[in-house]
Structure 1
Amino acid sequence: MVSESSPLLSRTVPSPFLWRSGAILVATGMIVDAFGTHTLRRRPGITVDNLNAWRTAANYAIINGLGLLLVSMHPRFSTHRFAGYAILGGSAVFSGSIMALVLWKNVKFLGPITPLGGIMMIAGYAALAF
């Protein structure tokens, strides 16, 4: 039985920064997915591969936003010094670089940066295990 002084009950308010960041990521992912579905496909030079990459970027933003919402509500992990920020930063780098590569063909230098965002996201989630 959990007592009223339990650490699980002592923190009922989510981390405001992580909560807001998660909500913004989810909303942004939904907006850019809708943009890709309704507008981007009509843009000259956009291929099926571009649309698939765009959808991947949008999905990762949504998934990581939901992850941040959950992390923000956890009494221990919402104050983790690395995890939430790594997930947020990794998601921004990963999704943002993919979207930039789709929109602007001349930013090829971002290609090698995309996996760094993925590594940051993985590191953030892995940090939650320790």
Structure 2
Amino acid sequence: MTELFVNGEGMRGGGVHHNIAGHPFLGLVRTAPAYRFFSVREEFPGIAPGGTAAVVGELYDVPLAVLAEKFLPDEPPELELGVIRLDDGRAVLSMVLRPDEVASGRHADISAAGDWRAHRRA
């Protein structure tokens, strides 16, 4: 099994959560304070290294086959699979904003929110 951090539509109640819903929920977690956090077209979030934000998300134990066959095909092209650090030091898989998308300047920086749901409520 593989630990997968989700912070947008993969979270409970999100549009692609059904792809991982049958797998163990390991709890609410936060990244290390080392990221930037973006809103992509106000449709989904993107996390990127190189900042000081800690981002809230959910952690799941998902088989690699499910990740490859169900989860990844539903992810938007602006995101790619990467490795992030949680605030407890663990390295886990997560979808991250592609470096060319970060450099494009097209996406709103919502690092101050640090939480997709809080951003959407604001």
Indicate whether the TM-score tops 0.5: no
The structure with higher relative contact order (CA 8 Å, sep 6+) is 2
More strand by share: 2
TM-score, length-normalised on structure 2? 0.26
More helix by share: 1
TM-score, length-normalised on structure 1? 0.25
